[in-house]
Chain A
């Protein structure tokens, strides 16, 4: 799409292809290394960083308060009751883990498809995955009521002689989410080792040298190591790809295996995965736009990235739209079931029907504006759109969890759901925790993979004849 009418005098556009460049022209190995490592190694932390860090820290305080009160009192402080026994905790769990999925998609699936533009955004997308999984993993744990007994979920030889029940999707979740968290951390760390070596070698202060030296495990850039490193990265990417698809499928089984109108449907696994990627890309954009502005990274996170991410959002948004329409067709017409029919009618026009229309507006109607190339390349618009999609995807999970449950088979047991202040405090608190961890990450770890950016520079290629070095720098 971006190939038509290129503005030739814009240096960020490649004259040969007419597309935005992945890296601004004129960069050298040294300039890339300096630009990225300076953010971490500078002795002068920007004031804005302190401001954001302290603000996010305040919200972590809210989370700690909410969770402490929860542990002291019990899950009764939340709005969950019968009939809506799964409230904000599960909504937030699914929302957070979905956000994490874009990180894995960018780092793994786009690597396998040789999408070079992913290189500059993959590190912080992976960081986003890990922090989102931390926020997500917390919810089922605190939702069990007695989180100090959470280890009962794992199969271990206990004196009670009790073992987990492997036919339940809730137990599958334990394995899916714990594997996902572990592999994401490992993939992220292994990908960072060469860059940690760079930071170790460039750090001036002793504590920094020790810190990065410890994490870099003695990396020295030997080509024998690089060969193995590259194959380990590819293998991890190849393994993360089926993993990320399976994780959200397993989470959708939590709903789909239950015999509940609104949940019991086979469209859930693919539509959950597409929705996860949809919201995750929105979150990557939400994070990338302020970061590239604040740290002046427009050279490395270019309009090409923003445009491409918008296209991915548009595509996954359409898959999600297909999922919603399938649900409607199944319930209203194909199922021929009164309960299914009523569930869908109630979801759209019942007392909580407003949430369905918020979801449709945010996830389907407004994102259609992304068809316009002009809007896709408008940073402010893209940022606002990413927030809208994140809101919409949160409401999707809210609609699935709450509007399927609050009016079940017997009118005498109908109820409603109104979140308490502790529900809100916990949710806002995890937003704070996520931001807090992200601030730590951008201050102390290289947020853009230096070695992968070096590889993308034109001078990185070995030229067939020896010594024609003058062409360096494109």
Chain B
């Protein structure tokens, strides 16, 4: 964990996605690893460029769904066979075909909730504070029409002067030093 003072990183602003991806690819090739791109819409190429591949969401969704399925089916079985057995039109207590419908719905319910909330959780959201919002140009652009590359100071290769001139080589609109 980096110290929560001083410089968070250098933020370069670009006009087009092409420029951003070009800069990000070069930064990765130059050995930078602790960095991130900020785009107003999903840009897969940028994620590729910074070497981001891990995505835990599908696995967590599967686990959530299986837990929902198991929980509801076991609950139905326990209720109908042991806790409160009722003779309904002569059907067996363990009428598993009838139990499928609620179990199916709960599979979807719990996998959907897992997909949504695990996605937020692995992204570290909700987050009340992030240093990038201190940059004067970040809020007006990142969620609207500009493309940002941030090289973070926690990267061993990071050195303010050198990194700044490295970023300026890609002709960004601006390079801003972001404070914690």
Nearest A-chain residue to B86, judged by Cβ: A165
Say yes or no: A201 contacts B80, CB within 8 Å.
Answer: no
Asked if A197 is at the interface (CB within 8 A of a chain B CB), the reply is yes
Say yes or no: A167 contacts B19, CB within 8 Å.
Answer: no
Say yes or no: A228 contacts B122, CB within 8 Å.
Answer: yes
- Bound-state CA distance A460–B99 (Å) is 48
**Which residues of the other chain, A, contact B21 by a CB distance below 8 angstroms?**
462
**Which residues of the other chain, B, contact A200 by a CB distance below 8 angstroms?**
143
**Which residues of the other chain, B, contact A460 by a CB distance below 8 angstroms?**
17, 41
Least CB distance from A239 to B in Å reads: 5
Contact status of A167 and B45, CB under 8 A, knowing A155-B79, A239-B115, A466-B22: no
Nearest B-chain residue to A218, judged by Cβ: B127
**Which residues of the other chain, B, contact A4 by a CB distance below 8 angstroms?**
none
Asked if B75 is at the interface (CB within 8 A of a chain A CB), the reply is yes
Say yes or no: A231 contacts B42, CB within 8 Å.
Answer: no
Say yes or no: A218 contacts B36, CB within 8 Å.
Answer: no
Say yes or no: B101 contacts A236, CB within 8 Å.
Answer: no
Stretch at the interface among A175-183, A299-307, A315-323: A175-183
Nearest B-chain residue to A249, judged by Cβ: B101
**Which residues of the other chain, A, contact B95 by a CB distance below 8 angstroms?**
166-167
Say yes or no: B39 contacts A221, CB within 8 Å.
Answer: yes
Stretch at the interface among A25-33, A95-103, A273-281, A288-296: A25-33
Asked if A372 is at the interface (CB within 8 A of a chain B CB), the reply is no
Say yes or no: A182 contacts B18, CB within 8 Å.
Answer: no
Interface of B is mostly: helix
Q: Which residue of B21, B112, B142 has the most chain A CB atoms within 10 A of its CB atom?
A: B112
Partner of A452, one of B41, B102, B130, B140: B41
Q: List 19 A-B contacts (CB under 8 A).
A: A33-B144, A166-B80, A168-B88, A179-B105, A218-B128, A220-B133, A222-B123, A223-B37, A223-B50, A223-B52, A226-B41, A227-B55, A228-B122, A232-B61, A235-B57, A236-B116, A451-B40, A451-B41, A454-B145
Give the interface of A toward B (CB within 8 A).
28-30, 33, 155, 161-169, 171-172, 175-176, 178-179, 182-183, 186-187, 189-190, 194, 197-198, 200-202, 217-232, 235-236, 239-240, 242-243, 246, 250, 253, 451-452, 454-455, 459-463, 466-469, 472
Given A187-B112, A201-B140, A467-B22, 10 new contacts (CB under 8 A): A33-B145, A161-B84, A165-B86, A167-B80, A169-B101, A182-B112, A186-B113, A218-B130, A235-B112, A469-B19
